Structure 1
Amino acid sequence: MPSTLPILRARRERRLNQQNKHSNRQRGFVLSIGIVISILLGVVIILAAFAYADITQDLPSTEILPRLFNPPDGLLLQPTRIYDRTGLQLLATFSPNESPRRYIPIGEQNSQHIPQTLINAVIAVTDPQFNRHSGYALDELDNPDSHPTIAQKLVYDFLLYNEPSSTKRAIRERILAAQITAQFGRTQILEWYLNAANFGNHAYGVEAAAQIYFGKPVEQLTLAESAILAAVIETPALNPLDAESVALQRGREVLYVMNQLRLASNEATAIALAETPIIQPAPQTQPIIAPAFVNLVLSQIESQIPRERLQRGGITIITTLDYQLQKQATCTTEVYAIRLAGLAESNNNCDSARLLPSLPPATTFPDSSASAIIIDPTTGQVLALVGETNQGIETPLMSSHQAGSSLDAFVYLTGFTRGLSPASLTWDIPNENNYQNFDAEFHGPMRLRTALLNDYQVPVEILKNQMGVENVIDIASSFGIDINDDISLMDVASVYGVFATQGVHFGQNVNDEFVPVSVLRVEGVDKSVMLDWSIPQAQTVITPAMSYVMTHVLSDDAERATTFDVHRPAGIKVGETFDGKDAWVVGYTPYYVVGTWSGIHTLTSPLQGGEEGGNPEDFLLCCGMRWCKLHHKINLRMVGLLR
């Protein structure tokens, strides 16, 4: 009988082998899981590193903030100023006055300081946890337009203002807020914020706000006045000058919040609630030279730099404005508007107006407006711009109006591009479509040249049908205009300037539109360049040959029923509407484009004439006379006679 020992040994070995296999499988499984987890963890770390690198890429330097705020040379202590093209003539300033802004520190050890009542009021309204957090809050991370802490507001306003709204910007904002809080401290952050906050009416900083609203230095503010300013920080439009009752009520609400947060005692709160703060009258506004032009400047810069940043200060804007031309264009238009309205003239210092002929007898349009523009077609730069002027008072408006016949040249251009010539025959006769001319007469057979120069509407409507309306629209759209829409004087002058430059359109791409430019450059007061449009962009629209044809026709003064005595060749197009309420004259040489518009606001058509107005032919003639005098001034300028 065999021994049982080998059998037992064999069984034990088999059992051990099975256990080892099971253990090996377990170890392999655990090892595999560990490898997978390690790989995933590594991937997560790598992705997190890439994400962090992407988020923090090109983060603005926090050292910008001391340069912006700290006296005596802080950039924002100087208001934003707008100058003419020489950089010498000041056009406008974003400030209640011309003087630099005053920087007021925190701390009673300073003779001039921000009072603790104002500090407490601002903290209560804008950041109740200011003294507890590290400069940022993680709540509202999904709302990039919310800036829940004072440090985050400072970062957004001055470091990230030009970044698009996104979750990425929200994260960058919090990173920078934590950095500046750790680097500069809470007191410095609060001091900068209070000296740069927007209080409405171009009042930036607590000192400017205290002076403009209460007529006193900031250290003399009462608790009630401090509460009002704290409320204004949240909504600058609801300030004591523009919404007094609302501002006072919101100030009382701030007092209740301060009391609840124990930032104002019961006794101090009761005294403040019983107080009736005295609001100062609105300060006299600084006059703006060329208000319509300044509006154009700001609207174009806003495509690159937010208006809020411009108004905060520290910026110098050099524009394309020719100050001497602007003065002549403004005074000529003002005197012309006064005469149109039948009022007595008061501007005796206008050289151009003295050259302006008297209006035809009984030609008065009391509710009329006029505007003018001068553009350099070789650069697309606006040299002068006069807003819609009513009864001698210029407004900043440059509205779009009915184009009327001012764009008829593009119907003829369509014909010329399709084989017609200025000598081609057309007919101005009664027709089955009942087309009419402005003078309600027909003039028989004529050349296209004659029809275009005299603004006859029957030939242009016939030609439009022959060429196809869609083809005319395509030609006009290549110039950047829609012949079926209302149009601004700037756009009319701009497109005719293409004929002056052999078919090339000069300007800048602003807000996805190719337009004349009003800005040469924008720079910080430290001369750092923020925007440079001094070199024009160019777009070829038509051939030089076609441009020559159009100029040859439009400058043929001998073919006009009404001539323009401008003493040098100039392409000229007049335009009007059938209701007689809009009149246009635009003309150009290789160096300048001059455009004028006149319009009547009343609903009653002046076609009937009468005591309240002249006839539309006189209205168009008046507009033409003003164009002639502006062009004459430019001619004098070109030969060095205008100083």
Structure 2
Amino acid sequence: MSRLLPYLLIRERKKRRSSKVRNSQTKMRYRGLGILAFFLVILSMVPIVLGVLYSYYTKDLPSVQLLDIYLDPTSGILLKPTTIFDRNEEKILYQLQNDGYPRRFLSIDPNNPEFFSPYLVQYTVFEYEPDFWTSSGYKPNWLDNVGPQTIAEYVVDRLLLWQEPDSNFRNVRMKILAAQITKKYGRTQVLEWFLNSQSFGHFTIGADAAARTFLGKPASLLSMAESALLVSISRTPSLNPIDAPQAVIENQLTLLQKMVDMKKISQLEYKNAISEKIEFQKIMIDQHLLANAYTRLVLNQLYDMLGFERVELGGINVVSSLDTVIQASLICTSQLQLRNIQGLVSDSTFCGPAKFLSSTVKSSPNQTNIITSATVIDQNSGELLALIGDSTSIFESNLISTHQAGSLLTPLIAVNAFARGFSLASQVWDIPNYRTTNQNMYPQAENSYKGPMRLRTALANDYLTPISSLLDQLGTEIIWQSGKSFGFSALSNETGTELLYEKKSANILEVAEFYATFANLGTRIGKINPQSKSIDPVLIKLVKTVDNVLIYELKKSESQSIVSPQLAYLVHDFLQDDIAKRKSLGYPNLLEIGRPAGVKYGQTYKHDEVWAVGYTPQYTTAVWFGNGENSDDAINFQVAGNVWYAMMQWLHQDLKVETWSTPAGISEIEVCALSGLLPSNSCPELAKEKFIDGTQPVNVDNLFKKYEINRETGLLATVFTPADLIESRTYMVIPDEALEWAKQNGIDLPPKNYDAIQSPSLNSNLKINTPANYEFINGVIDVRGTVSGINLKSIRIQIGSGLNPQTWYQVGEEQNTAMVNGLLATWDTKLYDDGLYALRLQVILEDQSIENHTIQVTIDNTAPTLRVLFPNKNESIQRATNAITTLQADIQDGGGIAKVEWWIDSKLIGISNHSPFSFPALLNTGNHSMVIKAFDLAGNSTTSEVIEFVLN
């Protein structure tokens, strides 16, 4: 028994051990099976994943059969260059090829009648893909987006994937297609396609065209040196024999050296090649196209749309917006005017608008260095119908140059002023004292200033002194920056008023589009530029391949609202105001065409550049004349007007007369012609003026005032002047800063002194002490005076309206007690209308005789009207570079303004004493609050609401 127990224990232990081993082996077996199953599942999914990836990368993959369509030797669409047509697709404006060298597609097979030089084939393979003849067509670096690396990849990249943006996705697709074309068509065909589609610069596609263009021989006759030269050009097409002949030779030598170093050519072949003298073919570039500048713009837009390489490859037809009839007419009309200026005789038989040209409009003496530019736009579609780049009488440049717009920019100032609360009726002064500091560089004849006027008159006639003053008041930097929204590209960094007088600021298209915006009452129509997001003129209507596959079509023009119709209408209204412009242009003039048109001249201070720009509801036309290099002769501004007039008359000769509708929110009221305020009985001339609702004047004219004058003394009449000596005369009320102008222009000024005739007085102790004679008063006042030393019965204070009252009214109670500077009466002036009053102290004596002492006072209980113009409430403003922010307000008062206080952040920063009321504040960036306080001569005051604004 003692031996059995240990035995049983040992056997049990062995059984447990054996069981653990069996369990462990079972687990290992199952684990191995699981791992095997996992890998089998993964392995089985590989084809699925690869299939999904392949499907992903080949989705919408271009068909390789397109290469047959593109590069077939007899019918390939790339045999034809990119061609630009007119709007009717009838006349070819331009083709991207060198004249006399049409494209041909050659073979590399020497058995064909024409074939590529073996040298060219050999060197191309060496340079681009040395293992080409054994290559599968692609490099297996699928994840490296380094561009094409094989000849097949180059072909695919240029011809099949040109529309796709550069990416890893595109890189994989390129390699898939490269493998497909190599497998399907073979390496020989791929190499032929490469040589026939490669760009060699200067509109030269294909090695054969390059050989004939640059070397004057077909590609089959190329020598070793010439072949090396063409291969090196293909690497950098911009460095070609026309544009960079020296660089071409250097690149050729580099390639030859590379080949000899790699033992692809022998030393003898190398020496022979570098010693060969290569003669480059001279190319005559045709500059006499119908539309040089226009086609350049179309090409640039086409490059942006399709890419440079795809456009130069060809096979594309472009239908442009150009109207060849209008273009030819614009050219001949401009040329006739240029030749007229030069004193030359021209044949105008085939120039339609010529019959509308005035032969008397010239610049004297004859000028031979004048150039011109012009354009016509259909602003309803935004289509550019005609365009002439800077042109002489025999040549049109393809450049659109920036010129001096000068006074042509005044509508930009106007629209900003109207947005700030100014109106066409706002009064401005054309006087020397209102000239800005910058204007002193541009002297003006002393007798040329016009005095007070409405803003409409200044804008319509280019009176630049008040316009420059307004520009300075509004803030030059802010105004010029606003030009960006109207399409001006050169104004943003300008800070002074000198742009109205000189400096290059705009090109012909920017100016035309600017004015076309007002023709459309604030809307710009055309095509949205993808980069700037602004509206550009429509140049391209349709793009398609030569086999009519549509690439692009503009079915409907796009539009952007630049300013409100109301603001634009005010600008348009002074541009179309023929009557206002006659003050400076006379009648008849070349800006009046017998139908509604918004138009104006523009010129520089030196008159070395002149413009005429204007529009009808159908067309916008802009014309510029200026000097060529090394010349700054003055040009008669009517030269530009003559071309504008002739073109607009010709364009509209068969069109019905159309006009513009007044937008909602515009009202018309009658105002005093020179002040722009509501008419008074003294206003000598009235005018109807248009306003944006809410900006109409509320004050009566204060520029003209009737005065009662003693006709014998010429002094201001008083209540003591005999009635038979008083006559009423109307005078212009001239501010101090305009007195010199008034004197030089013979403007009669009202007398300052009163008539010396005084009331007869029995006693010097009878006197009104307060208010003072001729004082402005308001509210409730104490009438104090002295009545002493006489036998008085009663004392009365009386008032009467006007200079010689017919009726008197008693103020307060009668008194009968003598006094010295005592209270005679308390007078509530609020019970009476504003105006001139006589205030009389009347004393009745014991003997019933009467003594009077009379003074004149003016009641003014009406506070000034105050409207904040700038900044607006909660407005965010860009701080000017000079840190000056010009605060502005429109303040009016019938009796006159004593002072205006400007408060920023609860601190008084300045005081103004005369209109226009503005203050140049030096402010830091950040949040600010503004309050304006206006005080009139009677002490009435108005305080604006608190204007919170942010200066960035």
- What is the TM-score with the length of structure 2 in the denominator? 0.61
* Aligned-pair CA distance for 1:498: 2.0
Does the residue aligned with 1:156 lie in a helix, a strand or coil? helix
For residues 579-629 of structure 1, the C-alpha deviation after alignment (integer angstroms, 9 at most, x for no partner) is 54443321001110001223335577x4xxxxxx33xxx443322222222
The equivalent of 2:159 in structure 1 is 158
2:327–2:386 CA contact under 8 A, matched in 1:
yes
The equivalent of 2:837 in structure 1 is none
Q: Which structure exhibits the higher relative contact order, with contacts defined as CA atoms closer than 8 Å and separated by 6 or more residues?
A: 1
- 19 and 539 in structure 1: CA distance in 2 versus 1, 3 angstrom threshold: same
Structural mapping, 1:196-215, within 5 Å: 196-215=197-216
The equivalent of 1:514 in structure 2 is 535
d(CA) in 2 for partners of 1:16, 1:321: 99
1:464 counterpart = 2:471: yes
1:334–1:394 CA contact under 8 A, matched in 2:
no
- 523 and 353 in structure 1: CA distance in 2 versus 1, 3 angstrom threshold: same
What amino acid is the match of 1:310?
V
For residues 119-144 of structure 1, the C-alpha deviation after alignment (integer angstroms, 9 at most, x for no partner) is 11221222222112211224696453
1:593 counterpart = 2:599: no
| Structure 1 spans left out of the alignment, 5+ residues | 607-612
* Aligned-pair CA distance for 1:345: 5.4
Q: Which moved more, 1:545-554 or 1:297-306?
A: 545-554
* Aligned-pair CA distance for 1:431: 3.1
1:373–1:493 CA contact under 8 A, matched in 2:
yes
* Aligned-pair CA distance for 1:302: 1.9
Does the residue aligned with 2:528 lie in a helix, a strand or coil? strand
What amino acid is the match of 1:382?
L
For residues 18-59 of structure 1, the C-alpha deviation after alignment (integer angstroms, 9 at most, x for no partner) is 435555666687678778878988999887766555443332
The equivalent of 1:446 in structure 2 is 453
Does the residue aligned with 1:108 lie in a helix, a strand or coil? coil
1:378–1:506 CA contact under 8 A, matched in 2:
yes
- 5 and 260 in structure 1: CA distance in 2 versus 1, 3 angstrom threshold: same
Larger radius of gyration: 2
The equivalent of 1:629 in structure 2 is 646
The equivalent of 2:575 in structure 1 is 554
Q: Which moved more, 1:3-12 or 1:62-71?
A: 3-12
d(CA) in 1 for partners of 2:136, 2:597: 68
The equivalent of 2:293 in structure 1 is 292
2:407–2:604 CA contact under 8 A, matched in 1:
yes
Q: Which moved more, 1:418-427 or 1:367-376?
A: 418-427
d(CA) in 2 for partners of 1:216, 1:602: 41
1:523 counterpart = 2:544: yes
What amino acid is the match of 1:499?
F
For residues 355-379 of structure 1, the C-alpha deviation after alignment (integer angstroms, 9 at most, x for no partner) is 2434445255554432111000000
2:128–2:151 CA contact under 8 A, matched in 1:
yes
d(CA) in 1 for partners of 2:602, 2:153: 55
1:97–1:286 CA contact under 8 A, matched in 2:
no
1:135–1:149 CA contact under 8 A, matched in 2:
yes
The equivalent of 1:609 in structure 2 is none
The equivalent of 2:777 in structure 1 is none
What amino acid is the match of 2:124?
V
The equivalent of 2:304 in structure 1 is 303
Does the residue aligned with 1:405 lie in a helix, a strand or coil? helix
What amino acid is the match of 1:454?
N
d(CA) in 1 for partners of 2:45, 2:403: 62
What amino acid is the match of 1:319?
S
- 346 and 140 in structure 1: CA distance in 2 versus 1, 3 angstrom threshold: farther
d(CA) in 1 for partners of 2:576, 2:292: 33
d(CA) in 2 for partners of 1:202, 1:532: 25
The equivalent of 1:426 in structure 2 is 428
Q: Which moved more, 1:393-402 or 1:369-378?
A: 393-402
2:523–2:560 CA contact under 8 A, matched in 1:
yes
d(CA) in 2 for partners of 1:36, 1:400: 72
d(CA) in 2 for partners of 1:140, 1:42: 23
The equivalent of 2:603 in structure 1 is 576
Q: How many residues align?
A: 628
d(CA) in 2 for partners of 1:602, 1:280: 32
* Aligned-pair CA distance for 1:82: 0.9
Q: Which moved more, 1:378-387 or 1:590-599?
A: 590-599
The equivalent of 1:567 in structure 2 is 594
For residues 68-87 of structure 1, the C-alpha deviation after alignment (integer angstroms, 9 at most, x for no partner) is 00132211011111111011
1:177 counterpart = 2:184: no
The equivalent of 2:509 in structure 1 is 490
Q: Which moved more, 1:282-291 or 1:194-203?
A: 282-291
What amino acid is the match of 2:605?
F
- 327 and 639 in structure 1: CA distance in 2 versus 1, 3 angstrom threshold: farther
Q: Which moved more, 1:126-135 or 1:180-189?
A: 126-135
Q: Which moved more, 1:376-385 or 1:197-206?
A: 197-206
* Aligned-pair CA distance for 1:489: 1.6
Does the residue aligned with 1:585 lie in a helix, a strand or coil? strand
- What is the TM-score with the length of structure 1 in the denominator? 0.87
d(CA) in 2 for partners of 1:231, 1:465: 59
- 207 and 442 in structure 1: CA distance in 2 versus 1, 3 angstrom threshold: same
1:212–1:283 CA contact under 8 A, matched in 2:
no
Identity %: 33
2:484–2:492 CA contact under 8 A, matched in 1:
no
d(CA) in 1 for partners of 2:420, 2:553: 40
- 39 and 324 in structure 1: CA distance in 2 versus 1, 3 angstrom threshold: same
2:434–2:469 CA contact under 8 A, matched in 1:
no
- 637 and 77 in structure 1: CA distance in 2 versus 1, 3 angstrom threshold: farther
2:526–2:536 CA contact under 8 A, matched in 1:
yes
1:416 counterpart = 2:418: yes
d(CA) in 1 for partners of 2:470, 2:251: 65
d(CA) in 2 for partners of 1:195, 1:12: 87
The equivalent of 1:58 in structure 2 is 60
What amino acid is the match of 2:601?
V
What amino acid is the match of 1:102?
R
The equivalent of 1:121 in structure 2 is 123
Q: Which moved more, 1:88-97 or 1:586-595?
A: 88-97
d(CA) in 1 for partners of 2:389, 2:414: 30
* Aligned-pair CA distance for 1:88: 0.7
Does the residue aligned with 1:303 lie in a helix, a strand or coil? helix
2:487–2:513 CA contact under 8 A, matched in 1:
no
What amino acid is the match of 1:240?
P
The equivalent of 1:12 in structure 2 is 14
The equivalent of 1:276 in structure 2 is 277
* Aligned-pair CA distance for 1:239: 2.8
d(CA) in 1 for partners of 2:514, 2:47: 57
Q: Which moved more, 1:211-220 or 1:121-130?
A: 211-220
2:519–2:615 CA contact under 8 A, matched in 1:
yes
* Aligned-pair CA distance for 1:558: 1.6
Pick one of 376, 379, 382 that aligns with 1:380.
382
What amino acid is the match of 1:495?
F
- 27 and 573 in structure 1: CA distance in 2 versus 1, 3 angstrom threshold: farther
Does the residue aligned with 1:60 lie in a helix, a strand or coil? coil
Does the residue aligned with 2:296 lie in a helix, a strand or coil? helix
Q: Which moved more, 1:251-260 or 1:168-177?
A: 251-260
